[in-house]
């Protein structure tokens, strides 16, 4: 089975690591990467909850991926968690905007399986471990600097980045905003129609008053003409 060309880190860590002899090395725990060049070198897994050692794997040790299992070739490098925590990583690093404010946390990234090159990062607004939270796409070109635990980008807010996955809360708020906007449009249309109706009614009233005034004026003229005829001795 061919390996996928691109893979999410979260998917890699969710798979169970198995050897050629069906040895179970546990589920992936965290990444081993080289942040300056945005490249993943490998990852490490935990054999069991009671085991303090960790199995470190290189990316090129993956032979195939079947369902929820990753089959590897060769033996792992054995290490401990205190040593691995010293490895530099951008996962869960705070994302800082161009104004110096924190706008999110790096939660995941997409990488090329063959080379390990990271294509882009996925940003969470708050805690990335909350299931179903939204993800925004951060391209490598948007990163201007990085320090341990901090990544600086050229954007101002997460709304400047493409939204890759929406949470239920985000969808609900967005849908609610659409309903409010639609209600405002309906209200504005109703107000406009009411104003047009009032203006039309006012025009009708003015025209009616004008016609009525003309009628009385014409009547007065007829009366005055009759009075003149009666008063005129020559008629």
Tokens representing 203 are 């025009």
Residue 54's pLDDT band, with cuts at 50, 70 and 90, is very high
Phi, psi (rounded to 5 degrees) for 122: -110, 130
**Residue with the larger pLDDT of the pair 186 and 92:** 92
The pLDDT, as a whole number, for residue 104 is 96
**Residue with the larger pLDDT of the pair 129 and 79:** 79
Residue by residue, DSSP assigns 98-144 as TTS-EEEEEEEEEEETTT-BEEEEEEESS-TTSTT--EEEEEGGGEE
Cβ–Cβ under 8 Å, residues 47 and 26: yes
Of 49, 84, 119, which residue constitutes the final position of a domain? 84
The CATH number for 28's domain is: 2.30.30.240
Domain identity same for 58 and 70: yes
Domain identity same for 181 and 157: no
Of 32, 64, 84, which residue constitutes the final position of a domain? 84
Distances (CA, A) of 235 to 46, 221, 224, 225: 128, 18, 15, 12
**Which residues neighbour 28 within 8 Å (Cβ) at sequence distance 6 or greater?**
12, 13, 14, 15, 17, 43, 44, 45, 70
Q: Which residues pair with 32 in a beta bridge?
A: 42
Tokens representing 50 are 């009671």
The pLDDT, as a whole number, for residue 180 is 52
Domain identity same for 174 and 147: no
Question: What confidence tens digit (pLDDT) does each residue in 108-148 have?
Answer: 999 999 999 999 999 999 888 887 789 999 999 999 999 98
Does 1 fall in a domain? no
For the chain, the helix, strand and coil percentages under 3-state DSSP, each to the nearest 5: 35, 35, 30
Statement: residue 216 has pLDDT above 80: no
Domain identity same for 180 and 152: no
Statement: residue 78 has pLDDT above 90: yes
Number of domains observed in the structure of the chain: 3
**Alpha-carbon span 178 to 185, nearest angstrom:** 10
Domain identity same for 105 and 144: yes
Q: β-strand 150-153 against 94-96: which pairing, if any? A: parallel
Of 144, 165, 186, which residue constitutes the final position of a domain? 165
Range of 234's domain?
168-235
Does 89 fall in a domain? no
Domain identity same for 66 and 103: no
CA angle 81, 82, 84 (to 5 degrees): 60
Domain identity same for 151 and 211: no
Domain identity same for 160 and 174: no
pTM above 0.85, yes or no: no
Does 195 fall in a domain? yes
- Strands in the chain per DSSP E: 6-8, 16-18, 24-34, 39-46, 53-58, 62-66, 69-72, 77-80, 94-96, 102-112, 118-124, 135-139, 143-147, 150-153, 163-165
40 secondary structure, DSSP code: E
Domain identity same for 51 and 103: no
The pLDDT, as a whole number, for residue 123 is 96
Residue 2's pLDDT band, with cuts at 50, 70 and 90, is confident
């Amino acid at each position: 089975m061919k390996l996928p060309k691109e893979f999410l880190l979260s998917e890699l860590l969710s798979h169970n690591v198995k050897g050629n002899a069906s040895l179970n090395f546990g589920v992936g725990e965290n990444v081993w990467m080289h942040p300056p060049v945005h490249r993943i070198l490998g990852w490490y897994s935990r054999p069991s909850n009671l085991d303090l050692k960790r199995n470190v794997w290189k990316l090129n040790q993956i032979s195939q991926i079947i369902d929820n299992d990753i089959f590897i070739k060769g033996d792992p490098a054995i290490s401990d968690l205190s040593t691995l925590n010293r490895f530099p990583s951008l996962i869960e690093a705070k994302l800082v905007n161009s104004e110096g404010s924190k706008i999110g946390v790096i939660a995941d990234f997409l990488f090329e399986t063959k080379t390990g090159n990271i294509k882009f990062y996925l940003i969470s607004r708050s805690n990335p471990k909350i299931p179903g939270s939204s993800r925004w796409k951060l391209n490598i070109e948007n990163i201007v600097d990085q320090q341990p635990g901090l990544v600086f980008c050229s954007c101002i807010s997460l709304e400047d980045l493409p939204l890759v996955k929406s949470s239920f809360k985000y969808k609900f708020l967005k849908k609610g905003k659409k309903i409010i906007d639609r209600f405002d449009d309906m209200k504005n249309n109703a107000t406009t129609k009411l104003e047009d109706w009032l203006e039309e009614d006012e025009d009708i009233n003015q025209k009616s008053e004008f016609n009525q005034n003309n009628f009385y004026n014409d009547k007065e003229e007829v009366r005055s003409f009759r009075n003149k005829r009666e008063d005129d001795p020559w008629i």
